[in-house]
Amino acid sequence: MTNLRRRNALGLLAGGMAFLAGCSESSDGNGNSTDPATDGSTDAAGGDLPPYASMLSTTDRPKYFYGAIDIRTMSTLIKDQGAEAGEEPTDPLVGNPVVVALLCSYGLGQLANSAGVSAYDDNNETETGEEQFVYANGVYALVGSYDRDGITSALEAAGYRLEAEADGYAVYADSASDEIVGVADDVYAYSYPNGDDSSFDPMTAVERTVATAAGDRLPKHEADAEFERLLRAGENSGIACCLYTDNDAFASGTLSDDQTNDGNGLQFEFGAFEGAYGVYQTLSVTSSDTATARVTVSYSSDELVDEDGLESSLGTEANSATFDRAETTVTVDAEYGEEFARE
């Protein structure tokens, strides 16, 4: 499934955690924040939105992908010594979130190697300990609470040039690395040119991310009721993974393409979701050897729902798995025991 085994994931996570040490001393996980800046609100549409929903920007493409992980989950995973000699998971309920963890660790490694790291590290003011790391449509972002003025001053001192500025955010570029950095009060976002996609513009992508976080653009969930409904139907803990399209169903290429484009050959397994238009997965590591997973799968019509395909593909490595259908939405909940640590 993925070209990197879980022991490699632990190594990458350890590298990411080494950078974050000192940035956040503790975490209670996702979904517990009451800070409106991180948008954990609830209304009649369903459950809570993810705490980072206010930075998920709209794009001009029908396909939408993001992954997220909280600091507490990163810490738990790298302490899971029993997984170091294990095999890669074949169950997409575990495998897809593990690839998100790899992807986020890769992004943290990129940040640690950039000139902007000192600006972020020296001026971070995370107070809640609930910091999130998010990858969304080509942009990496740390979501927390930051000294925006201090970071922008440090970026300028490091030679970054100001490219765009508004009351709530600023965007900088580094000519040496081609890194683009955007800073808002609660988001530190960055990206680079994508050699595999010449149409991707990191300047545009980073600016729309921080502009959305600053309230200058509508976030995706406010512009798209179906996307909001999908996020509210899921859980907000541990590692999250969301694939969505504005169309009635995913294009076949969307389900087979490598979603990460980070040079490590990471691959998600979305084949079980053919015919759907929205998938929202979460994996919560409850201890060093137990975990719970949930996926919400949304279809545009009854005839597209493939319950048999979902049951044969998902939860195959779980202690137990339950499948529930409500009209055109299928929810799968799975629990993993000691075998989780041996995967």
Q: What is the pLDDT of residue 233?
A: 85
Residue 333 confidence (pLDDT): 94
Q: If you write DSSP's letter for every residue of 105-150 in order, what string do you get?
A: HHHHHHHHTSTTHHHHHHHB---SS--EEEEETTEEEEES-B-HHH
Region 61-75 average pLDDT: 85
Instruction: Dig out the tokens for 54 from the structure.
Output: 């206010």
Residue bearing the bigger pLDDT, 277 or 42: 277
Rounded to whole angstroms, the Cα distance separating 8 from 10 reads: 5
Q: Is the pLDDT of residue 124 over 70?
A: no
- 265: phi > 0 → left, psi -120 to 50 → alpha, else beta; which? left
- For the chain, the domains span 1-343
Nearest to 335 by CA among 286, 288, 296, 297: 286
Mean pLDDT, rounded, of the chain: 79
Residue 329: Cβ-neighbour burial (10 angstroms; 0-12, 13-18, 19+): middle
pLDDT for the residue numbered 215: 96
Confidence of residue 248 (pLDDT cuts 50, 70, 90): very high
What is this structure's pTM? 0.83
Kindly indicate the confidence band of residue 304, based on its pLDDT and cuts at 50, 70 and 90: very high
**pLDDT for the residue 119:** 63
Average pLDDT over residues 88-95: 83
Q: What is the pLDDT of residue 209?
A: 98
- As a whole number, mean pLDDT of residues 155-175 equals 94
Q: Is the pLDDT of residue 177 over 80?
A: yes
pLDDT of residue 278: 97
Which residue did the predictor score with more confidence, 298 or 287?
A: 298
